[in-house]
Structures are given as C-alpha cells and as structure tokens.
Amino acid sequence: MAQTLHIESRGGRVGTPLLEVQNLVMHYGTKEGEVSAVDNVSFTLNNGEAIGLVGESGCGKTSVALTLLRLLPDNSVIKGGDIKLDGESLIDLDEEQMRRRRWRDISMVFQGAMNSWNPVYRIGDQIREALRLHWPETLTYQEETDRIGALFELVGLNPVTMERYPHEFSGGMRQRAVIAMALSCNPKVIIADEPTTALDVIVQDQILRELKKIQQELGMSIIYISHDIAVIAEVTERMGVMYAGKLVELGSTLEVFHRPRHPYSYLLLSSTPSITGPRRKLAPLEGEPPNLLNPPTGCRFHPRCPFAIDKCSSEEPGLVEVGEGHSVACWNWQEVPEIGGLQK
C-alpha cells in the first residue's frame, strides 16, 4: 500500500552509470536525400544526475531524445550505435518490449506537453490512465487516487485539483501536471525537452526550481534538452553542446560555461545576453546552421568558425579529453580564448 505512495527513482546507486549512449547514428530519409540528424553521439547519464543537451533548433537534440525513446517517425533509421539502460541494450528490443519500458523506465516531458492534455478528460484521470497502462501491478481506484494525490503534492499542486479539466489549469499548472505524469511510474530517467519554453519567466523559474528539487530529493536522473543555455546553467550538473547533429563538447556545466573549449560553445556563450555582469558587446555567430542533407566536410562548424584551420575542412575531429570529464571535438581547441577574450 505504502509502496504505491512512494515516489522514487528506480535507478541504481547514485553516481553509477545508468544510461549509456554509444556512437548513436540516426538518419531521416526525405525526398531530397538522407538527413543525418544524429551523428555519432555518445554520452553517459549517471544515477541521480541532471545533464543537459543544448543547441539551436535542428541541431539534433530532440532527435536524440526521440531515439532514446524510439519514438521516431517512420522515415527515420537508426544506423548504428547502442543505448544501454542499466547495462541492458535498448536498441535490439522489439516494439512491444520497448513500449513496456517507455513510460515505466524512461519517461518524457515533451516540448509543449502542457498543451497536449486531452480537453475532455480530467487531469487526474489522464494520469490514472498512464498508471493503468504502465504500473506493474493492478491498483485499486483508491490506490491510484492516493498516488496521483502524492504526485500532485510533489510537484506543488493541490491534490484536489486532480478533478479539474485542463482548461481550468493555467499554463504553469498544466506543466506541473505533465511533470507529475512523467513521475507517475517511478521512472529511472526523465527526458525533459524544453520543459519551460512557452512559459513566462516567473512561472519558468518556479517550475525549474521544482524540477531541481525533485531531482535532488528523489535522486532522479534527468536529461534536459533546451536551446536556452541559461536554463541549462540553472539546472544541470553536466552538459553536452550539440551542433548539426554532432556532440561537439561535453563536460561539467561549470567547466563548459567558464572555459568553453569548442568555438561553437564559446560563441554561443558569448552571444547570449545576460542581466548580470558587465554590459558588453556580444560576439555574433556569423552565418546559418548547415543543411544536414549535405553537411560540410570535415568539422561541420568550420564554415562559421573564426578559429578554423586548413585541417578543419578536410578531417573530422573526434571528441578528445581536454580536462577531467571534459572533452571537445575540435582540432584547434587550444586557440579558443576565455569568455570575453574576443571583445574589442
């Protein structure tokens, strides 16, 4: 009985590897040709850890998430690589086995999920539906209600409101309920894709704090996906920077922010305005992201890179370790200055 009220992460001991992504390659087949949306992406998520994937739209960050959950559209092909959850490979599972793991082991807070509630059902009943489909045992109605109440309390909603319909919730409340739903089956991993993008700053801040609190209290493992590096800075411990389908830099959030080694991370950080620190001229990132139908040869960033050398256009750099747990895919990473170093 009490177990149904217990909200936890079913992952292992904090600090041990939980989700390992190795050399993941995923393509979309289109009329014009193959789009290499995810190219050779590897990272590890440890138990109880929050990591972030950051990049512009179209850089492949959402595709990574969809590949992890195998929620890909029909025209996509996983070309290679492996995804291991608790040492078990997810890539070879058939659709039925994957379906059972999807909500129970890995759950997701989708971009714009707060608008995905079905308007004709009560919020609580929609979470109940998820419990019925994915909770290992059959629960009584009362047990379900109790658990939903506990989930609501955890995410800062009054349990009474589970009887309400989506239109009676504000945007922030709906987003909290989405988080409650993601937590409903005690998942091992939560993937949060732009969890606060459509929300106003004050609500965004409340939700991010709530998520961070939950993550720390439950020892939950979360992958945050966002285009907003400020959000990533707020909530993650480690982060990866993606560009044009590739992971170009991976390291602790503190390290990457204070001493980015990849020119793209560097420019991304330098071109983000902030309300703190000195008011400075920001360094613009020239050009536009490449067309992934026909990505540039060598390093995919070289056409926009102010630090590019001859080698960059011909040979593709792999991730190299540049510090403890900090790796970067760049031939010329030594030249990347400290933040503010390019300013006049």
Partner 1 sequence: MSETMADAGADTQPLIKVENLRKLFPVSKSIFREAHDFVHAVDGIDFEIAPGESLGLVGESGCGKSTTGRMLTKLTDATSGQILLADEGELIDIASIQRSHMRRFRRRVQMIFQDPFESLNPRRTVYDTVAESLTVQRIGSVQQREERVAELLHRVGLTPPEQFLFRYPHELSGGQRQRVAIARALVIDPTFVVADEPTSMLDVSIRISIMDLMLKLAEEFNVSYLYITHDLAVARYMCDRIAVMYLGKIVEIAPTEELLSNPQHPYTRALLSAVPVPDPAHKRERIDIKGGISKALNPPPVCRFIERCPRATDHCRTSDHPEFTDLGDGHFVACYNL
Partner 2 sequence: MADILTPPTERLDGFDPSAVLEEPLWRIRLRLSWRSFRKNWALFSDNKMGIVGILIIALFGIMALAHPVLMATVWQDHLEGGKNVYDIRAGADSIIVTKTIVEEVTDPVTQISQIEAMFLGTGVSIPEIGDTIEAPLANPAPPVLSGVDHPHILGTDPFGGDVFSQLLFGARAAFLLGAIAALSSVALATLVGTIAAYFGGVIDTLLMRLADLVILIPLLPLLIVVSGFWNVELTMLGILIGVLGGLGGTAIILKSQALSVKVKPFIDAARIAGGGHWRIITRHIIPNVLPLSFLYMMFAVTGAIFTEAALSFLGLLNIQQSWGIMINIAHTQGYTLEGLDVWWLMLPAGLSITLFSAGFFLVGRAMDEVVNPRLRKR
167 binds, among partner 2, partner 1, none (CB under 5 to 8 A by kind): none
Q: Pattern 171-190, binding to partner 1, x per CB under 8 A?
A: -x------------------
Among 45, 182, 269, 305, binds partner 1 (CB under 8 A): 269
HSE value, Cβ hemisphere, 13 Å, CA-based, for 62: 14
CB 183 within 8 A of CB 107: yes
Among 87, 275, 324, 334, binds partner 1 (CB under 8 A): 275
Question: Distance (Å, rounded) from C-alpha 273 to C-alpha 226?
Answer: 16
Considering the rule CB under 8 A, would residue 136 count as an interface residue with partner 1?
A: no
Beta carbon of residue 197, minimum distance to partner 2 (angstroms, whole number): 21
Angle between helices 141-154 and 123-134 (to 10 degrees): 110
Considering the rule CB under 8 A, would residue 257 count as an interface residue with partner 1?
A: yes
Considering the rule CB under 8 A, would residue 170 count as an interface residue with partner 1?
A: yes
Handedness of CA 192, 69, 46, 183 (dihedral sign): positive
Q: Which residues contact 22 (CB under 8 A, 6 or more apart)?
A: 42, 81, 82, 83, 84
228 binds, among partner 2, partner 1, none (CB under 5 to 8 A by kind): partner 1
CB atoms near residue 118 (< 10 Å): 12
271 binds, among partner 1, partner 2, none (CB under 5 to 8 A by kind): partner 1
3-class SS of residue 104: helix
Mark the segment that binds partner 1 (CB under 8 A) among 73-81, 138-146, 153-161, 204-212. 204-212
Considering the rule CB under 8 A, would residue 167 count as an interface residue with partner 1?
A: no
Of 206, 92, 100, the C-alpha closest to 155 is 206
Question: Distance (Å, rounded) from C-alpha 315 to C-alpha 153?
Answer: 53
Q: Which is nearer to partner 2, 30 or 272 (CB)?
A: 30
List of residues contacting partner 1 (CB under 8 A):
56-57, 170, 172, 200-206, 208-209, 227-231, 233-234, 236, 253-254, 257-258, 267-269, 271-277, 279, 282-286, 288-289
